[in-house]
Amino acid sequence: MINVTIWHEFRHEKINESVAELYPKGIHGRVKEFLESDDVKVTLASLDEPNQGISDELLESTDVLMWWGHIAHKEVSDELVSKIRDRVYSGMGFIAMHSAHHSKPFKTIVGTTGDLTWGRNQRAIVWNLCPTHPIAEGIPAHFELFEELYAEPFFIPKPDDLVFGTWYEDGNIFRGGATFTRGLGKIFYFHPGHETCTSFDNEYVQRILKNAVKWCSPIKVEDGFVINGCVKQIEEVFKK
Amino acid sequence: MINVTIWHEFRHEKINESVAELYPKGIHGRVKEFLESDDVKVTLASLDEPNQGISDELLESTDVLMWWGHIAHKEVSDELVSKIRDRVYSGMGFIAMHSAHHSKPFKTIVGTTGDLTWGRNQRAIVWNLCPTHPIAEGIPAHFELFEELYAEPFFIPKPDDLVFGTWYEDGNIFRGGATFTRGLGKIFYFHPGHETCTSFDNEYVQRILKNAVKWCSPIKVEDGFVINGCVKQIEEVFKK
Amino acid sequence: MINVTIWHEFRHEKINESVAELYPKGIHGRVKEFLESDDVKVTLASLDEPNQGISDELLESTDVLMWWGHIAHKEVSDELVSKIRDRVYSGMGFIAMHSAHHSKPFKTIVGTTGDLTWGRNQRAIVWNLCPTHPIAEGIPAHFELFEELYAEPFFIPKPDDLVFGTWYEDGNIFRGGATFTRGLGKIFYFHPGHETCTSFDNEYVQRILKNAVKWCSPIKVEDGFVINGCVKQIEEVFKK
Amino acid sequence: MINVTIWHEFRHEKINESVAELYPKGIHGRVKEFLESDDVKVTLASLDEPNQGISDELLESTDVLMWWGHIAHKEVSDELVSKIRDRVYSGMGFIAMHSAHHSKPFKTIVGTTGDLTWGRNQRAIVWNLCPTHPIAEGIPAHFELFEELYAEPFFIPKPDDLVFGTWYEDGNIFRGGATFTRGLGKIFYFHPGHETCTSFDNEYVQRILKNAVKWCSPIKVEDGFVINGCVKQIEEVFKK
């Protein structure tokens, strides 16, 4: 059983009627619908809840944290961001969806400004650049979306694997599906999911996120990997 | 079910009594013993059999080809090597064990001279450099072997992932567990397994090879990936 | 001084008048015009010359070999291909231009079928995905071409660096500017340069090829790197 | 001209007589001695100076920042760390020396806990794993040091290039010379340089750091790369 927490800023739905109509249960609620299964248990969390939705207990029991934020990145507390980063470095998976490229956790975890070029919603074609990657399982060479333009230059670190690349009508391309490893944690960024688009209804977007949850799940830590242990050891020595 | 073929040059056992005593069923027979399971079916093949052990039918039905060769690399026919390379590029996994770093298939598939530094059998410590990799599942931070020295400089292409690094008593280190992707095929090189050593009895070596077989298994090819198709298409056009 | 040899199949110009008009000195002659400088000496070579244009002496004195082939890939002798591969593994740079993705040397050196999707000449936009790479020096975030469509799926090994990605009008994208290392040799594939297009007149294509020549130049080999030495050492031992 | 700033915690020299004897001008002063040249101008900076040694003006005019810290990591202000990170993402090079693996800037810039295994000073052999890398220019296949043990598991992100690997007498190995790219900034971590060792007198350590300064120098930013621009653009839009 994989414990997934889907964190959603959950603001657009409250201030924009058309978004509320598209996502009556919120974007996190929509993702939960296709993600939950016998093997995946989903907890929903959002910014305006106590602890900004993520208590220490929830964080500790989460295997994969999925993140969607857009207009309220700055409201997320630095303390929570540090806790999330430390938990990822200890093995928790992290999936940054769409505008989470600019979220504090993603930027802090992988080390990036998250800056990119953006533009109007338009025809987009996602190309499968790494068919041997577990996240690409079941995905054809290409599939089509109608999405907000997120494009190069994208100032991410060189990805471990560039799984998907996206073509846009306006002449742009985007390294929009990329994996990273930080500490013992596996991270996946995937660009579809604008609040005024319906990409989460696309069967391939759903399949990719399902695959990503599986791929991001924490490994069992074996002997000799003392997580956050060296720091303590060194500090103790110098304290003497 | 994963169909594994273990190809072995199978010469040392016939000309060297001490090797024959260590490996009464041959090195391939020894590997089969710990590899075969409900999910893995193993076929043995060796150089002196018809078709040098690998008929077209066997090659076509093999999911993962494991290779051990040492003193007879040159006897392997170029035609067979080309067939193996094409099959890997179409998705078959390939595991090069020990001295297969200099085998024709490994050199041809990944693009390398395979050159390295070698020396006497000695104390060796394998370090797990990539605990998040599926091939490292269940492997502690380090384990010990008594092995032939294979060491840097090792003229391999930059690996996709450097999973294991090995320390040697004599002052050497080795990028001895490394993955590569070529076409749709996944490749793993792993250095233990000298004919006068007993590394295949080591529980971690066994676990790593089991993991590698699983990791190297072919993916299901989805729509739009025409294997070896573009070549034909272009040729047909120019033939007009 | 960098010694560059530009090898050209040199057939289209002889059988197609419009190509001959575009490239009166041949494609290799055109590339020479903008490449040659105080620091770069260019030698031209082509398929129908003795030794298929590349004598052992020329190969030995070449620092960077640039390759353009299309309809006559199969005529290049396997013996020459092996010599080129060995020379690259010993440090010579190799630049595969346009349709050289399917040339024997490129396929053999990096380990690929070279297969890709291709289509009609059209509007193409090259995006600079790695502005920190020496090959991207002086190149803006994007520039435009009119080129033959070469696109994904492209069955290359995971590149060391993906320097450029190309957008096409028809909905395709392409990892069209990619670096590889094999042995001591540095390799660059770059897609512009179809025989019916004028991409070699583009200032950025010229700059990229100039940068690539510099980047691909051989390193000075230091103590301890015995090129093609381990093979001999091992063979000698077994000969005893 | 490359403007290098060497930042040093500069505490061991003040509290430990033997370190003061080894490094009468401080570790930063020692590094300056061999680094400064007609092409490289060096400024020294240390923790107990105003602005913790790094004013905004100095930071802005620094091309490559070198960092040595050990017992006072926590005293470095978070504000300064953020400024350094942003400057690196905008193109400034960063070289983390020895115990700077645990410094706030290194951890924040690349995204790591910096945790590793450490032990007593001992015989160490540095192996050149990437002779084609500019940082390895002039470096033989291996050279010897007497150094503090810094070893695996080392929880760094997968490096862009693993340039050096180190062997230790005690049975350990270390990915001790590694490059990273973050934003437009190039980063190099290199392990030698313990305060009770004399590795900075080693000709190869000196050469590697000289090479690294050159390699880490900022690129000239071309049209279309709006540094830290996308953030503002998006914010402005949402402010409307």
Q: Answer whether B224 touches C (CB < 8 Å).
A: yes
* Cβ-defined contact of A224 to B132 (cutoff 8 Å): no
Q: Give which of A123, A158, A161, A159 is closest to A142, Cα–Cα.
A: A123
Q: What does the pLDDT average to over C115-143?
A: 96
A111: enclosing H helix or E strand: none
pLDDT attached to residue B238 = 39
Using one digit for the tens of pLDDT, what is the confidence trace for D89-147?
Answer: 999 999 999 999 999 999 999 999 999 999 999 999 999 999 999 999 999 999 999 99
pLDDT attached to residue B227 = 56
The answer, yes or no, to whether residue D52 has pLDDT greater than 90, is yes
Pairwise pLDDT comparison (A68 vs D220), residue with the higher score:
A68
Measured in angstroms, the CA of D40 and the nearest CA of chain C are apart by 20
**D148: chain A residues, CB-CB within 8 Å:** none
pLDDT attached to residue B226 = 66
pLDDT attached to residue C222 = 85
* Cβ-defined contact of D171 to B129 (cutoff 8 Å): no
Q: Helices marked H in B91-133 — which ranges?
A: 104-110
pLDDT attached to residue B223 = 80
pLDDT attached to residue C224 = 81
The answer, yes or no, to whether residue B235 has pLDDT greater than 50, is no
* Cβ-defined contact of B137 to A220 (cutoff 8 Å): yes
Pairwise pLDDT comparison (C235 vs C140), residue with the higher score:
C140
How would DSSP label each residue in C114-162?
---EEEEEEEEEEEES-TTSGGGTT--SEEEEEEEEEESS--PPPPSEE
Confidence of residue D227 (pLDDT cuts 50, 70, 90): low
**B180: chain C residues, CB-CB within 8 Å:** 157
pLDDT attached to residue C211 = 98
The share of chain C scoring above pLDDT 90, in percent, equals: 91
Using one digit for the tens of pLDDT, what is the confidence trace for B162-215?
Answer: 999 999 999 999 999 999 999 999 999 999 999 999 999 999 999 999 999 999
pLDDT attached to residue D228 = 52
Q: CB under 8 Å to B4, separation ≥6 — which residues?
A: B35, B40, B41, B42, B43, B62, B63, B64, B65, B66, B213
pLDDT attached to residue B225 = 81
Using one digit for the tens of pLDDT, what is the confidence trace for B76-118?
Answer: 999 999 999 999 999 999 999 999 999 999 999 999 999 999 9
Hey, how many other C-beta atoms are within 10 angstroms of the C-beta on A201? 11
* Cβ-defined contact of A137 to B224 (cutoff 8 Å): no
When computed from its CA atoms, the radius of gyration of chain A, rounded to whole angstroms, is 18
Mean pLDDT of chain C: 93
Q: Answer whether C127 touches B (CB < 8 Å).
A: no
CA–CA distance, D211 with D66 (Å, rounded to integer): 13
Measured in angstroms, the CA of B34 and the nearest CA of chain C are apart by 30
**A217: chain B residues, CB-CB within 8 Å:** none
Using one digit for the tens of pLDDT, what is the confidence trace for C178-188?
Answer: 999 999 999 99
The answer, yes or no, to whether residue D48 has pLDDT greater than 90, is yes
Tell me the backbone φ, ψ of residue B17, rounded to 5 degrees.
Answer: -60, -40
Q: Give which of D189, D120, D173 is closest to D148, Cα–Cα.
A: D120
Instruction: Give yes or no for a contact between D176 and D166, defined as CB atoms under 8 angstroms apart.
Output: yes
CA–CA distance, A191 with A205 (Å, rounded to integer): 10
CA–CA distance, B210 with B217 (Å, rounded to integer): 11
CA–CA distance, C107 with C155 (Å, rounded to integer): 10
Q: CB under 8 Å to C218, separation ≥6 — which residues?
A: C63, C91, C92, C93, C184, C185
The answer, yes or no, to whether residue D170 has pLDDT greater than 70, is yes
Residue in chain B nearest A222 by alpha carbon: B140
The answer, yes or no, to whether residue C239 has pLDDT greater than 80, is no
Pairwise pLDDT comparison (D194 vs A239), residue with the higher score:
D194
The answer, yes or no, to whether residue B150 has pLDDT greater than 50, is yes
Instruction: Give yes or no for a contact between C19 and C194, defined as CB atoms under 8 angstroms apart.
Output: no
pLDDT attached to residue C240 = 38
In this prediction the ipTM stands at 0.94
pLDDT attached to residue D224 = 80
* Cβ-defined contact of D230 to A115 (cutoff 8 Å): yes
Using one digit for the tens of pLDDT, what is the confidence trace for D55-97?
Answer: 999 999 999 999 999 999 999 999 999 999 999 999 999 999 9
In chain A, which stretches have pLDDT less than 50? 229, 231-240
Using one digit for the tens of pLDDT, what is the confidence trace for A56-83?
Answer: 999 999 999 999 999 999 999 999 999 9
